Amino acid sequence: MNGMEPTTELEILAAPILEELPWAAFSACRDADPELFFGGTKEQTEKALAICRSCAVRRECLDHALEVRERFGIWGGMTESERRKLLRQIVA
């Protein structure tokens, strides 16, 4: 978004998300198929992780996912099980 009022359907739907997570405007996945990040097949996961590797806000995304304990999907270049393992290590 450009600081103006949202006009397209996508901008209207994305507005609340971008208000809460402003870094998401710079995400490499903003135009990607969400199914890649939540589908769960090996092929989908590999494609999603490849997108994350090129993402400029990977750290912000991972911080958010860990902070709110996102249970599902790929966030910050990590799968659900990788985040669970990391959280166990951090808490231990």
Q: State how far the Cα of 16 lies from the Cα of 36, in Å rounded to an integer.
A: 22
> Which among 6-14, 38-46, 69-77, 84-92 is the span making contact with ligand SF4, rule CB under 6 A?
69-77
For residue 48, how many C-alpha atoms fall within 13 Å in the half-sphere facing its CB? 21
Residue identified by tokens 């507005």 is: 15
Q: How far is the CB of 17 from ligand SF4 (least distance, A)?
A: 11
Yes or no: say if 36 and 47 are a contact pair by the CB < 8 Å rule.
yes
Residue 77 in contact with ligand SF4, rule: CB under 6 A? yes
Binding flags for ligand SF4, 24-53, as an x/- string (CB under 6 A): ---xxx-------x-------------xx-
